[in-house]
């Protein structure tokens, strides 16, 4: 033991470990920094988990447009613990996005971005968007049909950038079309370029945390005054500060460990997302949808008025980034406590409700045609009239059932028609079908008069659930 | 700052030397970065520099398409890399309007590029992503697409139908 201690003393003396790191590890933090402070470190734990599992996945993955899908199948079905590894990386990404979001909301609600922590906030905003970018590029690396088509969707969004849109789309895909360069690029974005930016800003973010200290818990009536804050904070640490390790860090470790264990359990019991079809851009039976953290934006694209959408696809994200970056410049002093900043709390709640509602809508995707719809069952037609039955068949064949619901069958895009005859007369129905509407094709040029009358007869028989 | 540093600063000769050393160090750093950066930037911006050729690809025989029908055709992109595998393929919806008239529609929805499907009985193209719908002539019938389906050049070459390889149509902000 004595010998080991001696060896460690030599290593420590020559490496400077204690001298360099102990002041950092044991730096004083304000008292009362409790459980609401654990989300930043939990994000960092998730990042470390992502790096480790990402490196492991890279040992098995083939970053080539022609081979990536096969290697994903190998990882999922054949490699030892490959499926769990994929699962950890997937849920780790989800965990990181959840933790960074909660961390950001906590910092906003308690106004911890105010003087002198403006740059900590700005680097945090950059890290937030880089985390989302990592999630999205990671989804593309699955390189199944969903990955291929999602990359086209991303290129289309970049295409809306004024003047340089087409170039940006080309740069993303590595050419005019999906091809050999596409996956190599996504791999480089996901494995080298974005992580390099993340490492840079995580280092900077942590350096600022050490330099400016973590924000003290907000107190009603205690204002941030840039003229006196630094001196006050320094004095407060001298008088009341407690060493970060272990008196504050234990909460970070416990919460971080729970987060990591939860991610691993989810990976084992739920597993990674199933792979869709092969990455064939000529196979059109794909239904591209992003992973859950991008689903709210995907929903927004369906719900925005088409006239402003092309503009909002670019202006929306640009404005969001600008507002977040401008925040500490607009308000960098004064009250920090949420009770004295009710609009900040209200705004945060609104954003959370808005994003969560869009997510729930995205899960249901009522705007998408229900291609999986089957012909109406006899129970749902509930008629022996041959015209009505023929109308029900046409209702399916002409695609009406993709968007309209009859009892428990059909889509959600248009109004439910189970009892439409109680609302609309045959003449009204005919006008609607022939002329269509803002969200319905005009079937006047598609149906023959006989077909139209048959469908109207069917709909006119819809008078109960 | 110690006395020695003060002396160094005060002497004009040293000031000149200091200025020279700063310029030399920064200049050499910049030069090295610029020289090393050329191939790096070339790799990043290669897709903008390299021109993709446009080629006519045969997608079928004339008599394999009935007048009034719309069919899915697939073809190989121009100049695909050897490691592209199945990703070197593209698809289009080919409509035979008349005996000697064909229209080839891009399979990408003009809203966000998702793959539109032709519903033959309904005579409509439908997009699974956000519910965009197009008529058989490619014009918008419903949903968020800002413009009609993009058409690819198509020609009859002897007895073969050929489509010209094209870029994925990217909708711009003013669409």
Whole-angstrom CA distances from B169 to A166, A356, B32 are: 9, 32, 40
Residue with tokens 């023929």: A390
Residue A226 CB neighbours (<10 A): 11
Residues contacting residue B175 through CB under 8 Å, at least 6 positions apart:
A310, B110, B146, B147
pLDDT given for residue A53 in this prediction? 98
Name which of A159, A283, A288 is nearest B171 (Cβ-Cβ): A159
pLDDT given for residue A64 in this prediction? 95
Report the residue of A369, A395, A444 to disrupt the B interface, i.e. the one with the largest count of B CBs within 10 Å: A369
* Separation of alpha carbons B107 and B86, rounded Å: 17
> Could you please report the per-residue DSSP string of B25-51?
HHHHHHHHHHHHHHHHHHHHHHHHHSP
* Separation of alpha carbons A83 and A104, rounded Å: 31
Check residue A163 and report its DSSP letter: T
Q: Which residues in chain B have their CB less than 8 angstroms from residue A281's CB?
A: 87, 89-91
Beta bridge partners, A242, equal A29
Question: pTM (2 decimals)?
Answer: 0.92
Residue B14 CB neighbours (<10 A): 12
Minimal-distance CA residue of chain A relative to B47 = A175
Express each pLDDT in B75-116 by its tens digit: 999 988 899 999 999 999 999 999 999 999 999 999 999 999
pLDDT given for residue B13 in this prediction? 78
Contact A399 B52 (CB under 8 A): no
Q: Which residues in chain B have their CB less than 8 angstroms from residue A282's CB?
A: 74, 89-91
* Separation of alpha carbons B172 and B175, rounded Å: 6
Q: Which residues in chain A have their CB less than 8 angstroms from residue B168's CB?
A: 152, 155, 169, 173, 176-178
Minimum distance, in Å, between the CA of residue A372 and any CA atom of chain B: 11
Minimum distance, in Å, between the CA of residue B51 and any CA atom of chain A: 9
Which ranges in chain A are annotated with CATH 1.10.760.10? 378-460
Minimum distance, in Å, between the CA of residue B21 and any CA atom of chain A: 29
| Structure tokens given for A22 | 């102990």
Name which of B87, B144, B173 is nearest A311 (Cβ-Cβ): B173
Minimal-distance CA residue of chain A relative to B136 = A446
Percentage with pLDDT > 90 across chain B: 83
* Separation of alpha carbons A344 and A203, rounded Å: 29
Which ranges in chain A are annotated with CATH 1.20.810.10? 25-364
Minimum distance, in Å, between the CA of residue B137 and any CA atom of chain A: 12
Residue B1 has pLDDT above 60, yes or no: no
* Separation of alpha carbons B72 and B59, rounded Å: 10
From first to last of the 465 residues of chain A, give the pLDDT tens digit.
Answer: 899 999 999 999 999 999 999 999 999 999 988 999 999 999 999 999 999 999 999 999 999 999 999 999 999 999 999 999 999 999 999 999 999 999 999 999 999 999 999 999 999 999 999 999 999 999 999 999 999 999 999 999 999 999 999 999 999 999 999 999 999 999 999 999 999 999 999 999 999 999 999 999 999 999 999 999 999 999 999 999 999 999 999 999 999 999 999 999 999 999 999 999 999 999 999 989 999 999 999 999 889 988 888 889 899 999 999 999 999 999 999 999 999 999 999 999 999 999 999 999 999 999 999 999 999 999 999 999 999 999 999 999 999 999 999 999 999 999 999 999 999 999 999 999 999 987 899 999 999 999 999 999 999 999 865
Phi, psi of B98 (to 5 degrees): -140, 180
Q: Which residues in chain B have their CB less than 8 angstroms from residue A438's CB?
A: 142
CATH fold of the domain at A378-460: Cytochrome Bc1 Complex; Chain D, domain 2 (1.10.760)
Q: Which residues in chain A have their CB less than 8 angstroms from residue B146's CB?
A: 306, 309-310
- ipTM attached to this prediction: 0.89
Q: Which residues in chain B have their CB less than 8 angstroms from residue A159's CB?
A: 170-172
CB pairs under 8 A between A and B: 202
Torsional sign, CA A316, A317, A321, A327: positive
Minimal-distance CA residue of chain B relative to A146 = B114
Contact B173 A165 (CB under 8 A): yes
Report the residue of A143, A155, A437, A441 to disrupt the B interface, i.e. the one with the largest count of B CBs within 10 Å: A441
Contact A181 B81 (CB under 8 A): yes
Minimal-distance CA residue of chain A relative to B118 = A284
Q: Which residues in chain B have their CB less than 8 angstroms from residue A65's CB?
A: 81, 83-85, 87
Contact B168 A289 (CB under 8 A): no
Torsional sign, CA B121, B123, B125, B126: negative
Map residue A248 onto helix, strand or coil.
Answer: coil
> Could you please report the per-residue DSSP string of A384-405?
--HHHHHHHHHHHHTTHHHHSE
A108: nearest Cα among A121, A96, A97: A121
* Separation of alpha carbons A269 and A129, rounded Å: 29
Map residue B151 onto helix, strand or coil.
Answer: strand
CATH fold of the domain at A25-364: Cytochrome Bc1 Complex; Chain C (1.20.810)
Beta bridge partners, B94, equal B71, B104
């Amino acid at each position: 033991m004595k010998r080991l201690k001696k060896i460690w003393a030599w290593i420590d003396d020559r490496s400077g470990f204690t001298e360099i790191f102990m002041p950092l590890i044991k730096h004083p933090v304000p008292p009362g920094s409790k459980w609401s402070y654990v989300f930043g470190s939990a994000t960092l734990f998730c990042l470390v988990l992502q790096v480790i599992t990402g490196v492991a996945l890279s040992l098995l993955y083939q970053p080539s447009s022609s081979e990536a899908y096969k290697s994903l199948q190998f990882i999922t079905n054949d490699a030892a613990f490959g499926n769990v590894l994929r699962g950890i990386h997937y849920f780790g990404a989800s965990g990181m996005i959840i933790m960074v979001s909660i961390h950001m909301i906590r910092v906003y609600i308690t106004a911890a971005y105010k003087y002198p922590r403006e740059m900590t906030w700005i680097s945090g905003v950059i890290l937030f968007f880089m985390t989302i970018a990592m999630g999205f590029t990671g989804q593309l690396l699955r390189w199944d049909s969903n990955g291929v088509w999602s990359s086209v969707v991303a290129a289309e969004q970049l295409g809306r950038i004024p003047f340089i849109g087409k170039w940006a789309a080309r740069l993303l895909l590595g050419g005019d079309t999906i091809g050999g360069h596409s996956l190599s690029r996504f791999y480089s974005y996901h494995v080298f370029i974005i992580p390099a930016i993340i490492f840079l800003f995580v280092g900077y973010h942590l350096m600022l945390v050490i330099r400016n200290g973590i924000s003290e818990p907000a107190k009603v009536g205690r204002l941030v005054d840039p003229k006196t804050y630094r001196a006050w904070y320094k004095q407060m640490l001298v008088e009341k500060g407690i060493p970060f390790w272990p008196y504050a860090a234990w909460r970070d470790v416990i919460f971080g460990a729970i987060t990591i264990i939860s991610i691993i359990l989810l990976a084992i019991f739920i597993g990674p997302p199933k792979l869709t079809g092969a990455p064939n851009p000529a196979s059109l039976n794909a239904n591209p949808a992003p992973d859950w953290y991008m689903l709210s934006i995907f929903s927004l694209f369906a719900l925005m008025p088409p006239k402003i959408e092309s503009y909002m696809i670019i202006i929306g994200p640009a404005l969001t980034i600008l507002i977040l970056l401008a925040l500490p410049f607009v308000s960098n002093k004064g009250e920090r406590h949420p009770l004295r900043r009710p609009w900040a709390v209200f705004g945060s709640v609104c954003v959370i409700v808005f994003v969560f509602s869009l997510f729930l809508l995205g899960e249901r995707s009522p705007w998408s045609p229900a291609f999986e719809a089957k012909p109406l069952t006899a129970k749902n037609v509930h008629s022996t009239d041959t015209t009505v039955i023929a109308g029900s068949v046409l209702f399916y064949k002409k695609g009406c059932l993709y968007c309209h619901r009859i009892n428990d069958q059909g889509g959600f895009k248009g109004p439910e028609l189970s009892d439409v005859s109680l609302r609309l007369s045959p003449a009204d129905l005919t006008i609607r079908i022939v002329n269509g509407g803002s969200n319905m094709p005009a079937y006047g040029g598609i149906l023959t008069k006989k077909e139209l009358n048959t469908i109207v007869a069917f709909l006119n028989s819809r008078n109960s659930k | 700052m110690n006395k020695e540093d003060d002396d160094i600063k005060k002497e004009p000769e040293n000031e000149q030397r200091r200025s020279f050393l700063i310029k030399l160090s920064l200049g050499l750093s910049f030069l090295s970065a610029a020289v090393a950066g050329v191939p790096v930037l070339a790799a990043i911006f290669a897709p903008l520099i390299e021109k993709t050729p446009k080629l006519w690809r045969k997608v079928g025989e004339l008599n394999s398409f009935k007048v009034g029908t719309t069919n899915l055709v697939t073809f190989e992109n121009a100049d695909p890399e050897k490691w592209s595998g199945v990703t070197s393929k593209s698809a289009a919806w080919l409509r035979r309007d008349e005996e000697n008239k064909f229209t080839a529609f891009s399979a990408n929805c003009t809203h966000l590029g998702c793959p539109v499907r032709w519903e033959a009985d309904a005579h409509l193209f439908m997009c699974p992503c956000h519910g965009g719908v197009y008529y058989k002539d490619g014009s918008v019938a419903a949903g968020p697409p800002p413009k009609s389906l993009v058409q690819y050049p198509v020609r009859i070459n002897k007895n073969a139908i050929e489509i010209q390889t094209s870029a994925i149509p990217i909708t711009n902000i003013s669409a």
